[in-house]
Amino acid sequence: MNEKERNDYFYVCALIEYIARETRNHRGDIVSAIGEAGIEKLLYDAEVNHCLSFEQVSDEVIEYYKIHQGDFDTISGCNYSIPSFLDIGKLYSIMIEDCAKKGEEVKELMKIFSSFISDEISDFNTDLYYQNPDYLEWSYREGRLLE
């Protein structure tokens, strides 16, 4: 992955996290609603969308893909400081780069956001987000949190 692609994946992952928080949905529900072609379009548009606010792009994506409000609230009941959507987006983009085979990055993005690890990362009442990224990656690969 070159630097532009890294930036684009980081942006799209952060956008997915932002939309999920705004709509109170599981991250997997967001990528499912957008679909593979939609993710590819967001990646294609990422360089231009960087110039816009996350709020504006989020509103447009929510409207275009008809993403409804859910009840997966990871913010209001949190007892600890919440990592920013940018921090979480960076984490996901690193996992995609480390786990994806060349040319299959979009499929891997969808798999990671739809896997158990995504809900685990979204539980901000745990310290999972602060764990070593290698731990998160290998837990994802194994399909369970490693001991």
Separation between Cα atoms, residue 138 and residue 65, nearest integer Å? 32
Q: What is the pLDDT of residue 86?
A: 96
Whether residue 117 lies inside any domain: the answer is yes
Whether residue 101 lies inside any domain: the answer is yes
Q: What is the pLDDT of residue 137?
A: 92
Whether residue 87 lies inside any domain: the answer is yes
Whether residue 147 lies inside any domain: the answer is no
80-125 per-position pLDDT tens digit? 888 999 999 999 999 999 999 999 999 999 999 999 999 999 999 8
Whether residue 102 lies inside any domain: the answer is yes
Percentages (nearest 5) of helix, strand, coil residues in the chain = 70, 0, 30
What's the pTM value of the predicted model, to 2 decimals? 0.94
85-97 per-position pLDDT tens digit? 999 999 999 999 9
Q: What is the pLDDT of residue 25?
A: 97
Q: What is the pLDDT of residue 78?
A: 84
Separation between Cα atoms, residue 94 and residue 13, nearest integer Å? 10
Q: How many domains does the chain have?
A: 1
- Find the domain containing 125 and state its range: 3-142
Indicate if the pLDDT at residue 147 is higher than 90: no
Whether residue 62 lies inside any domain: the answer is yes
